[in-house]
Structure 1
Amino acid sequence: MTWTQYLAPLLKGAQVTVTISLASIAIGAILAFAAGIARISSNRILSGIAFAYVALFRGTPLLVQLFWFYYALPLIGISFDPVTTGIVTLALLTGAFGAEVVRGALVAVPLAQHEAARALNFSRTYTLWHISMPQAIIEMMPPFGNLAVQNLKDTALVSLISIADLTFQAQSLRNITLDSATIYTMTLLGYFIIALFLMFVLRFVEMKLRRGPAFPRSAHS
């Protein structure tokens, strides 16, 4: 086989990789904000649950998490197909790391602004979403970008639960052809191109957020 014949199966695997990565990033971002906000909540039960979730998924290997969801969870009557398992596991891991990014950015908002909000009799909810969050979310973007790329790289492990992603397709081709150099070089380039696209999109969003909304000036100003 020539390298051009490797393209079709590798592209098919890349589509699966992108699907799993984007889905788990989106769900992980929601979990990150939910857990990050809960971590700084005055409700001890809510804060405790969020802390336990973050500690569990940050403190255990992704591979073991994948195996637990795929092989152990069905023993108690809960099972998912391989792709769903991959998405759920990666989303939970990304959400756990992202929660600390959210918590850190919110805590970094100057205390004086919280005191000013209290002086103006703003509620905690209003202060969070209209004062703290708009400032914090800008500072979250660089670490979220790193998490997105890490998530993409972590998708390579889902091949171990029989998901035909980019790594799975590469390994299958290599077993047939023994052309390790060509196949794995193309696989590396595939991940690199996808990562570049992710970084470009997130960098674009970050620049838009830093510029803020552009309001046209009044003719009388």
Structure 2
Amino acid sequence: MMSIFQIWLGILQGLHVTALVTLYGLLFAVPFALLFGIAQHLTTGLARFAVTAVIEFWRSSSVIILLFVFYYALPVFGIELSAMTVGAMVIGLNIGGYASQSVRAGLQALDKGQSEAGSALGLTRAQVLFMIELPQALTAMAPTFINQLIQLVKGTAIVSLVTLTDMTFRAKELAQIEYDPVAIYTSLLLAYFVV
């Protein structure tokens, strides 16, 4: 029977993978959220429909199914991505879909006088967006982005399904060896809470 300390050490051996998936996931989530949130705010008609369709695809699809499709089905078409890339991309784009709605809502919540004042000063639409609107909206979005970061960290638990040895994978290995799932998975729960 392993001690709690040994269980924690075993689980934390997967912490670096969890941290890498989180970091790489952010590299997908943040640009996606900004690009598609701004695009949804600025576009109309068919263009807005297309932007919304992409956002809804990533928000509404099952993350586990997306993980399996990108990891197991894409090689059939000659596209092979590493488990790390697939995990970070799928989780990052899923979270990015949710965060894009925060970007859109933050921009739409600004007083119209902000953009009118920028236009009156002779600024282009892009200048108004990047110099006036976006900085104010990002400040308002910060709490929501922090929540999305937490969701991203928690979402990394599923990458163990595509062979990445993250904290969840390590806990599963320990549970199979030690036959003490209560102590091990409770420790895993606490480890994610601490992270």
Classify the TM-score, shorter chain. over 0.9
Q: C-alpha distance in 2, partners of 1:118/1:14?
A: 49
Provide the residue aligned with 2:126 in structure 1.
125
Name the counterpart of 1:155.
Answer: 156
CA apart distance, 1:55? 1.0
Deviation, 1:152, is: 1.0
Q: CA deviation at 1:189?
A: 1.4
Q: How far did 1:3 drift?
A: 2.5
Comparing 100-109 with 46-55, greater Cα deviation is found at 46-55
How far off its partner does 1:72 sit? 1.4
1:44 is displaced (CA, Å) by 5.5
TM-score, normalising length: structure 2? 0.93
Could you tell me whether the CA contact under 8 Å between 2:59 and 2:94 is conserved in 1? Answer: yes
Give 1:27 deviation, angstroms.
Answer: 2.4
Query: How far does the alpha carbon of each residue in 1:127-178 deviate from its partner, in whole angstroms, 9 at most, with x for none?
Result: 0011101110011111111111111111111111111111111011001101
User: Residue 20 of structure 1 aligns to a residue in which SS?
Assistant: helix
Q: Deviations over 1:171-191 (max 9, x none)?
A: 110011011222112211110
2:31 equivalent in structure 1: 30
Q: Measure the CA separation in 2 of the matches of 1:62 and 1:47.
A: 24
Contact (CA 8 Å) 1:14, 1:190: kept in 2 or not?
no
Letter in 1 for 2:181: S
CA distance in 2, matches of 1:43, 1:104: 15
* Cα distance in 1, alignment partners of residues 194 and 98 from structure 2: 24
Larger relative contact order (Cα-Cα within 8 Å, sequence gap ≥ 6) = 2
SS in 2 for 1:148: helix
Deviation readout 1:94-114 (Å, 9 max, x if unpaired): 111111111110111101111
Q: Is the 8 A contact 1:36 1:102 kept in 2?
A: yes
Letter of the aligned partner of 1:159 in structure 2?
Answer: S
Instruction: Please say which of residues 115-124 and 39-48 is displaced more in the overlay.
Output: 39-48
Q: 2 CA distance for matches of 1:46 and 1:72?
A: 29
- 1:108 and 2:109 are equivalent in the alignment: yes
Equivalent residues in 2 for 1:71-90, closer than 5 Å: 71-90=72-91
Distance 1:52 1:78 in 2: 24
Question: Bigger shift: 41-50 or 165-174?
Answer: 41-50
Change (3 A) 1:78 1:43: farther
Name the residue aligned to 1:51: 52
The corresponding residue for 1:171 is: 172
CA distance in structure 2 between the partners assigned to 1:82 and 1:44 by the alignment: 37
User: 5+ residue gaps in structure 1?
Assistant: 195-221
Please give the TM-score of this superposition, normalised by the length of structure 1: 0.82
Measure the CA separation in 1 of the matches of 2:101 and 2:20. Answer: 25
**8 Å CA contact 2:59, 2:95 repeated in 1:** no
Q: Is 2:186 the partner of 1:185?
A: yes
**Structure 2: segments with no counterpart, 5+ residues:** none
Compute the displacement of 1:42 (Å). 3.7
Could you tell me whether the CA contact under 8 Å between 1:94 and 1:147 is conserved in 2? yes
Q: Distance in 2 between matches of 1:108 and 1:48?
A: 21
Task: Supply the distance in 1 between the matched residues of 2:77 and 2:6 (Cα, whole angstroms).
Answer: 43
